[in-house]
Amino acid sequence: MPRPPTVPFKDVAVTEARRRRRPRTAGKPVEEILATTLNIPQYMIATEEQAQKIHEVSLRILSEAGIAFYDEVALATLREAGAKVDDDQVVRFDPEMVEAALDLAPPEFDHKSRNSEKTVTYGGNNIVLAPVAGPPYVMDADGGRREGLYADLVNFVKMANATPYLHNQGTEICVTADIPFHERALDINYAHIRWGDKPMMGHYPIGLTARDSVEMARILHGADRVASEHFLMAVINVSSPRRLDDRMLGTIRAYAGANQAVCLTPFILAGAMGPAAILGTVAQANAEVLGALVYAQLVNPGTPCIYGPFLATLDLQSGSPVFGSAESLLAQSLCGQMAKRYDMPFRAAGTYVSSKVTDMQAGYEAVLAMLPSMLTKPNFVLHAAGWLENGLTTGYEKFALDLELCGVLLTLAQGVSWDEEEWALDSLINEVPPGGHHLGTEHTMNRFRTAFHRTPLFDHDSFAQWEADGSKDATTRASSSWKALLERYEDPGLDDAIDAELQEFMDRRRTEIDPAEFQ
Amino acid sequence: MPRPPTVPFKDVAVTEARRRRRPRTAGKPVEEILATTLNIPQYMIATEEQAQKIHEVSLRILSEAGIAFYDEVALATLREAGAKVDDDQVVRFDPEMVEAALDLAPPEFDHKSRNSEKTVTYGGNNIVLAPVAGPPYVMDADGGRREGLYADLVNFVKMANATPYLHNQGTEICVTADIPFHERALDINYAHIRWGDKPMMGHYPIGLTARDSVEMARILHGADRVASEHFLMAVINVSSPRRLDDRMLGTIRAYAGANQAVCLTPFILAGAMGPAAILGTVAQANAEVLGALVYAQLVNPGTPCIYGPFLATLDLQSGSPVFGSAESLLAQSLCGQMAKRYDMPFRAAGTYVSSKVTDMQAGYEAVLAMLPSMLTKPNFVLHAAGWLENGLTTGYEKFALDLELCGVLLTLAQGVSWDEEEWALDSLINEVPPGGHHLGTEHTMNRFRTAFHRTPLFDHDSFAQWEADGSKDATTRASSSWKALLERYEDPGLDDAIDAELQEFMDRRRTEIDPAEFQ
């Protein structure tokens, strides 16, 4: 039987679609990519009854076992508010106290910067991505792994500002080993203020630094605005199990007291700081979030709080932490459901990897951790780009590659458009015959540039073309990509008077701060 | 204030948990990993009304635009059954005909092998993973990319049998370039029969080869059993848009006619073989599945059919196919919902990558494609391991790495256990104090080996340990891993009389088959 001529799609594509040779930069307009809405439904793995059980077990942990607050100021506040405080600094909470705090926490809040167009919102259908925070090392393909320096931090602040895929420029994107420990907050804050104009977090390892961050925000935005709007956000690490130390409590007081936001983050490696079980770990994390929430709301009723547990598992046989394990993803999904139940903004996992280099394992791990996050409908994803080696290294190539991944995940989060034209009914029924193609239809031509999100850093060429281009693997291409991103960066400038005031403040504080405060 | 002593988790883990140094092989018992059940809920992104709309648009496509069947035998059958057939071989279907076919398709069926313990089930909560199918090239870290040979196929059949993470040993895991085209089905089938005892698919590019596959199954299992049970499964590629050619129709006739299973697979690059839109592409794919289903059910009412579209997008500006794009994942999710609605087993995406090598891009892409698949609750995942370069290369290292990924995803698919002991209530409330740890609890000790799934091929060591072990990236480790997997392979043997009968059949067919049949 004669077979009708087939139209090899690739040839057609080359003829009709490849107007320009490999246009690596075109794609959707940046405004569309910047859209920080989540239109997909939240993936729910627990029933209402199961979520209720998690809530009840957490309340039992809070009322029977309690949370330790290693800080007399916090204990006094909690005692005064009616919590039971024992001699070991362990605080037990009645359910009513927890419910009252939940009632006070806003379901949604804005996070602002000096550029009013870059305000982001946490809560509802909004998602905000921020770069990795905290690694002592940096790594790039040219220089390998080395201590992070101030110049690296500035590079990452610039890249976080130059990319459309991050919406919050973060905090200590890498440690600045060339700056004395007690002065780092000043310089980190200054780097973010001077080189960026997206919302920033400040630096907040202890109350003292958090207060300096607030002071610098006041210089930048004015004390009045800082009193009524949110320009900073601190991640409050609960030292699981069930412990808040004076550092983190001091930061809560500094930030919440100044009307700035906090993300309440129990860090649990299940099997070590939590049980070797999903449900027990979730119940503990939930209790820890609620305990910290009570204190934040006592410091300042209405403090914007994010429900932000960081869950991973311990490989019980080797003692290594495992990020993006199946069990931690399931636990995170349950936490997302609890945050929804409490009507609190939710923070979920970024591109966590254990891998030391930007290899295939790093690719697997990054998506394993962050894709399920997107399905929890998170409002905040810290560590969305750059994380290597269990969070001990910020990778330049990893940063560039993760940004491309973020673009894919943000596109996924846009969900399906149900507009009538998405059916392409006329093409399907009248225009394209069996064995024909849709490349030349009016419908396709109308959305030639916008139909599908593009990922220029990912190679989709033929093997021959890829070989002709130098057989470059993803890391090699990413090495060029982050340099190009740095070149695309545009300096937002900074008012001279503000700059001078910041310098004056920093000069004064460098002499005032006692390094012993950080012991 | 004095801070209570903290217990660095890593040190505790080393002391209490690291009984043996880096036990790379231990973990959950294989039986648990082999469990092919999906206990997580299906992720639904459309409402009932939206799914109904997809169904209705598909019915319009089938009744107004139709599907071309380029095969006179099929056209005669369809005409006789009441379908409208026009002069261009385009067949239009009334909704009633579609509904009748849906009523006949079984919601669940078994796929058997010569080892009754390895029977798998498609449908319900069951998931079956199979290796990549069809690449002309193979690649490994030692020899680079080259044509696939029969020895490679045998290697992959052995590895598919040796791993606990694949449940169906597949078909042409790589092309066997050293065997004449018209004889390949014989040798591919023989390789699967001789070296494997998991369910196999047979080889089925045209009706003639599919019939030989059935004959060889009859020699192996007996004609009676093949008549009443399912030992083979063919993937039927619809040549989208809306076209089934004589090759695929011949295969449907050979397999369905012999009571073997078919997976109905429109292959659509949205923007080329389907509209540049998610909804239009899904409506077309759904119509194509239903059109093929009608024919399969006419050939043999009750034929086990899998709903199995393969959706990707075309980069409209470069002409390259993009697998695992956000848009194709959303489209797949909608298809999963349609399969559920029709109560048909569903086939979803495997570890598709465009990358030419096992680099970070390949890692990203593999999880981007396959993790969302798991959330559609698929019953069958072809190409779950080994796929490189848009399906043109079977990678040895990719195969090993993907297997480790499959283990993680199968663990994820197990969902959360809500057994009472998962709460670890006694540890949480009574045993572990604030700042303590769960490593030494009875609860943890009881599940020391089984609590969390292990991934020995993924590195979770410290940087120093990783460096001391040779700074091996994932590809380097995978090169050892697949060789170790091959060594672990155990020959299931084959009855001499059956072997002799198979050899006799193959010898005869080698002289009978006319290579011109494949033109």
CA-nearest residue of chain B to A413? Answer: B326
For residue A34, the model assigns a pLDDT of 54
For residue B4, the model assigns a pLDDT of 39
Q: Provide, rounded to the nearest whole percent, the portion of chain B with pLDDT above 70.
A: 93
Among A317, A449, A459, most B C-beta atoms within 10 A, so best to mutate, is A317
* For range A128-154, the mean pLDDT: 97
Q: Is A82 left (phi over 0), alpha (psi -120 to 50) or beta?
A: left
pLDDT in tens, A29-68: 444 455 578 999 999 999 999 999 999 999 999 999 999 9
For residue A36, the model assigns a pLDDT of 78
Q: Between A7 and A161, name the one with better pLDDT.
A: A161
d(CA B328, CA A408) in angstroms, rounded, equals 11
- Provide the sign of the torsion angle of the four alpha carbons B356, B359, B360, B362, taken in this order: positive
Residue B316 has its nearest CB partner, among A17, A242, A389, at: A17
CA-nearest residue of chain B to A355? Answer: B459
For residue B3, the model assigns a pLDDT of 43
Examine the pLDDT at B324 and tell me if it is beyond 90.
no
For residue B35, the model assigns a pLDDT of 58
Task: Judge: A367–B372 Cβ closer than 8 Å, yes or no.
Answer: no
Task: Judge: B320–A392 Cβ closer than 8 Å, yes or no.
Answer: no
- Torsion angle defined by CA atoms of residues A392, A367, B410 and B353, in that order, rounded to the nearest 10 degrees: -130
For residue A14, the model assigns a pLDDT of 36
Examine the pLDDT at A318 and tell me if it is beyond 90.
no
Q: Which residues of chain A make contact with B482, given a CB cutoff of 8 A?
A: none
* For range B27-39, the mean pLDDT: 60
CA-nearest residue of chain A to B51? Answer: A418
* For range A480-501, the mean pLDDT: 97
The tokens describing A232, both together, are 């900073």
pLDDT in tens, B453-481: 999 999 999 999 999 999 999 999 999 99
Examine the pLDDT at A9 and tell me if it is beyond 50.
no
Q: What's the pLDDT band for B16 if we cut at 50, 70, 90? A: very low
The residue among B90, B270, B68 whose CA lies nearest residue A9 is B270
Q: Which residue has the tokens 């009472």?
A: B420
Q: What's the pLDDT band for B169 if we cut at 50, 70, 90? A: very high
Question: Angle formed by the axes of helices B396-413 and B360-375, to 10°?
Answer: 30
pLDDT in tens, B386-442: 999 999 999 999 999 999 999 999 999 999 999 999 999 999 999 999 999 999 999
For residue B449, the model assigns a pLDDT of 83
pLDDT in tens, A356-390: 999 999 999 999 999 999 999 999 999 999 999 99
Angle at A314 between CA A311 and CA A318, to 5 degrees: 160
d(CA B448, CA A254) in angstroms, rounded, equals 41
The residue type found at A475 is T
Please tell me the distance in Å from B353's CA to the nearest CA on chain A: 9
Instruction: Provide the ipTM.
Output: 0.93
Examine the pLDDT at B32 and tell me if it is beyond 60.
no
* For range A254-277, the mean pLDDT: 97
- Provide the sign of the torsion angle of the four alpha carbons B397, B402, B407, B412, taken in this order: positive
Task: Judge: B355–A474 Cβ closer than 8 Å, yes or no.
Answer: yes
Please tell me the distance in Å from A346's CA to the nearest CA on chain B: 19
DSSP reduced 3-state for A128: strand
The residue among B358, B352, B346 whose CA lies nearest residue B371 is B352
Strands B261-270 and B310-315: what pairing?
parallel
Q: How many residues does chain A have?
A: 519
Q: Is B278 left (phi over 0), alpha (psi -120 to 50) or beta?
A: alpha
- Provide the sign of the torsion angle of the four alpha carbons B206, B211, B214, B216, taken in this order: negative
The residue among B201, B214, B185 whose CA lies nearest residue B262 is B201
Among A242, A452, A463, A518, most B C-beta atoms within 10 A, so best to mutate, is A452
For residue B7, the model assigns a pLDDT of 37
For residue A115, the model assigns a pLDDT of 95
For residue A449, the model assigns a pLDDT of 83
Task: Judge: A275–B26 Cβ closer than 8 Å, yes or no.
Answer: no
For residue B22, the model assigns a pLDDT of 34
Please tell me the distance in Å from B495's CA to the nearest CA on chain A: 41
Question: Alpha helix locations (H) across A300-417?
Answer: 326-342, 360-375, 396-413
Q: How many residues does chain B have?
A: 519
Residue A358 has its nearest CB partner, among B65, B245, B360, at: B360
For residue A503, the model assigns a pLDDT of 98
Please tell me the distance in Å from A49's CA to the nearest CA on chain B: 11
Q: What's the pLDDT band for B34 if we cut at 50, 70, 90? A: low
Q: Provide, rounded to the nearest whole percent, the portion of chain A with pLDDT above 90.
A: 90
Task: Judge: A375–B43 Cβ closer than 8 Å, yes or no.
Answer: yes
- Share the mean pLDDT of chain B: 92
Examine the pLDDT at B1 and tell me if it is beyond 90.
no
Q: Which residue has the tokens 């490989």?
A: A315
For residue A290, the model assigns a pLDDT of 98
Examine the pLDDT at A187 and tell me if it is beyond 90.
yes
List, as one string, the DSSP characters of B63-120. III-EEE--HHHHHHHHHTT-EE-TTSEEE--HHHHHHHHHHS-S-EEE--SSGGG-E
Q: What's the pLDDT band for A518 if we cut at 50, 70, 90? A: confident
Task: Judge: B280–A45 Cβ closer than 8 Å, yes or no.
Answer: no
- Torsion angle defined by CA atoms of residues A142, A363, A172 and A478, in that order, rounded to the nearest 10 degrees: 40
- Share the mean pLDDT of chain A: 92
For residue A29, the model assigns a pLDDT of 47
pTM reported for the whole predicted model = 0.94
* For range B264-274, the mean pLDDT: 96
d(CA B55, CA B53) in angstroms, rounded, equals 5
Q: What's the pLDDT band for B233 if we cut at 50, 70, 90? A: very high
pLDDT in tens, A188-240: 999 999 999 999 999 999 999 999 999 999 999 999 999 999 999 999 999 99
* For range A437-462, the mean pLDDT: 92
Residue B375 has its nearest CB partner, among A43, A315, A452, at: A43
